[in-house]
Each structure stands twice: as C-alpha cells, then as structure tokens.
Amino acid sequence: MPHNAYSSTWFRLFMPLQTEEMTAREVAFLSRQLSLPRYARVLDLGCGYGRHALGLAARGYRVTGLDRDAAAIAEATRRTRAAGQMDVAWVVGDLRALGELPGEFDAAISMWQSFGYFDPGANAAILRQLHAKLTLGGRLVADLFNRAYFERNQGEQRREIDGVMVETRGYMAGDRWHSTLTYRDARGVIEEDHFDWQVYTPAEFAALADACGFATRLTCAWADEAMPAAPEHARMQILLQRV
C-alpha cells in the first residue's frame, strides 16, 4: 500500500470531483487575497493537474507549479498547452527541497490539504524555506484540514465513484489524520492508498507560522472570508504574510 503517494486510481476517481465551480470559487478567493500587481509571481505547492495555477495564469499571474508526481506534472503541462497558457512553469520536486528552486516569489499557495505530510520538524522546515523564498511582505495561502472537524468525524465510509466502490477508514493518531482507502470493483480489490497528515487547529497553525516568521492575516472556511473556520467545516484557509 503506498504511503502518502497518490495512486493512479486516486487520480482517476478523485480529480474529476474537483468541479469547475469549486475551482472558480477558490481562484476568485486567491485573486482577492493575492491582488495584482503586488503578488504577480505565485508558487503553487502540490499543484496536481494545475487547476489553480491555470486559473491564476488566466487572470494575469506568473505561476510556477511544483509537485512530486511526474505524471501529474505531465498532465498539467498538457493542459497548459491545450489552454494556450504561457505564464506557467511546471517543476517536479519535493516540498522539503524548496531551497533548490531558483528565484523568489511574491506569493505561494498550498491548496487541497497539500501541507503536513511529514513529521513536525520537516513541516516547520518547509514553512521556513517558504519564508526565505517569498519577498518581504509576500503571502502564503494555506488550505488545510481543520483538526477539530476530523476529531469529530472518525470512522468508516463507503461511496461509489465511476463504478468503483471506495471504502475509507479515517482516524486520528495524536495530531495526525490517517485515511486508508480501498478501491473495489466486480473483480475485487483494485488498489489501496494510505495518507496521513499533521493537522492543526487555527491557533496551532498560527503559532507555527509565527515561529517561522509569518503573521496571520486571515482565517476562514470554504474560500469565503465571511465564514469563520469552525469544527463544522472540514477545511480552512489561512492567509500568512512574511514579516
């Protein structure tokens, strides 16, 4: 079973669930918080197929997308060409080696819970590297799981996606959320995935950010500035600024 490595089955089933409406709402939120021209150069961390990167590029941003999955970067490159977008660069790379990435950025985004895969020391090191990569006053938008929600919603679920039964078992172990996915069709088990993240409360992430040289400027839920982060919402967005 892969550990924190997304299988081809995961990509096939879950990527289509990221609807155009969802992406448009999130890109609009990013554009409001990363206004042009101040935040023109954006680093998209864990970019996947590049849905946010392409949306921002269409609005005039110069975007670099980083992901460790070479197949995802290949698909992002194909989509860039299909969309005729020129201001997107794609890089296969590890979040823990951000210091090796050339140049600096006005802003960075980490969407769809792409932060927290590693141990606490490595996660903090990533934030410190991001601090060094951003210009003074640069911003980071982190789209994270809210730990309080997942502490309340542990257990097993089953759902069918495109003819495949997805069995999910989610549980907390300390400050980490674990999610084990088993994929079945008429033939039996196709594949399994296991993911785990260090997950935070808003106050915990703000404290970590402060220790890494950031100030918290906004905390909300579902890309809506008027909606507070709360245990009822699985996701939260935290806007940090380099100070």
Strand partners for 197: 177
pLDDT greater than 60 at residue 163: yes
Q: Are 51 and 17 in contact (CB under 8 A)?
A: no
pLDDT greater than 80 at residue 12: yes
Whole-number pLDDT of residue 184: 97
In the structure, what pLDDT confidence band is assigned to residue 1 with cuts at 50, 70 and 90? very low
Closest-CA residue to 241 (of 217, 221, 225): 217
- The CA-atom distances, in angstroms, between 119 and each of 122, 176, 199 are 5, 9, 11
The arithmetic mean of pLDDT across residues 90-96, rounded, is 96
Contacts of 89 (CB under 8 A, 6+ apart): 63, 64, 65
Whole-number pLDDT of residue 138: 98
Q: What angle is formed at CA 181 by the lines to CA 180 and CA 182, rounded to 5 degrees?
A: 125
Whole-number pLDDT of residue 130: 97
The arithmetic mean of pLDDT across residues 136-157, rounded, is 97
In the chain, pLDDT over 90 holds for what percent of residues? 91
Whole-number pLDDT of residue 2: 53
Task: Tally DSSP H helices, then E strands, for the chain.
Answer: 7, 11
Q: Are 150 and 172 in contact (CB under 8 A)?
A: yes
pTM, rounded to two decimals:
0.94
Query: To the nearest whole number, what is the mean pLDDT of the chain?
Result: 95
Whole-number pLDDT of residue 25: 97
In the structure, what pLDDT confidence band is assigned to residue 4 with cuts at 50, 70 and 90? confident
> What digits encode the pLDDT tens for the residues 198-226?
999 999 999 999 999 999 999 999 999 99
Listed range (4-8, 60-64, 146-150) with the worst mean pLDDT: 4-8
The arithmetic mean of pLDDT across residues 167-196, rounded, is 96
> What digits encode the pLDDT tens for the residues 32-87?
999 999 999 999 999 999 999 999 999 999 999 999 999 999 999 999 998 887 77
Task: Give Cα 124 distance to the centre of its chain.
Answer: 16
